Amino acid sequence: MSSIAKVYADAVKKHFKVLYANWEPGAPIELGDYGVMEGNIFIPMGKLKKDFPEFEGDFLQFTPDQTKDNKEFKSEVGVEVSLLPKGSLSVQGVELAKATLDIKFSSKNMVYFNAAGCTTTRITNKAKLGEVLKQMLSAGRWKKEYCVVTDLVQTERAIIAVSNSGNAGISIEADSPLIEKINLADASIKMSLKTEKDIGYKVPADEGLILLIGICKIKNPFLWWGGNLVPLAEIKGPDVLYRIENAPEIVTEGSVDELIFGQMGMV
């Protein structure tokens, strides 16, 4: 896993809690894809409907939510965002011909994320899905470390930047000179990259990307570790928790019936 991927994925998970980054942003992914976690990054391995006969046809039920919202965050420190209207003076003292979004970073590995016009589609029969997966686990046809994509968040327009130094910056401008000032929540405003410096990764106003995913997994709310009952909330770090939950030498349940199929990222 690249350092940029980890920086971005960790920042997304920290902000959105139960939603994970789709790495790379816009990578092809579908509801019902399964795989494993590498830190906060989902590594796809296959599709339920193609690899297991239980899920052929219309077993998985989908519900799209047509409500649109704007999702935005930036690293807590080291990121300065300016919306410069058309005709204002730039840092160099030159009058802008077009409205501009100017992002400056004062530290390395800082993240800016803006997604306009976000809609969510999710699997609605998660409980039924979980019961089938538990039966498959009991029969040795499913692995406990496998996770399933159960929620997808698609955006009409995405702007993402990750800094590669303490002197990084990126400017994105409106395509039309008729726009007086950029409204980041308005996905209909077309934008394009103007300039960049020391940017490790960027998505400069790309359209129609799947950016975020929700993931469910078979798990147990407690671990029996060394004779002690340890709540999952006391175990810090996604890598540590994931490895402990799935380590064959650690007993996590007396039987498959004690396991639950639930959303990842709740603790």
Q: What is the pTM of this model?
A: 0.87
CB-CB neighbours of 260 under 10 Å: 13
Share of the chain above pLDDT 90, in %: 75
Confidence of residue 257 (pLDDT cuts 50, 70, 90): confident
Q: What are residue 203's DSSP bridge partners?
A: 160
Helix residue ranges, H only, 114-199: 126-138
Q: What is the pLDDT of residues 150-203, one digit of tens each?
A: 999 999 999 999 999 999 999 999 999 899 999 999 999 999 999 999 999 999
Decide: helix, strand or coil at residue 7. Answer: helix
Write down the pLDDT at residue 260: 87
Cα 20–221–260 angle (5° rounding)?
80
- Does the structure show a pLDDT above 70 at 227? no
Decide: helix, strand or coil at residue 22. Answer: coil
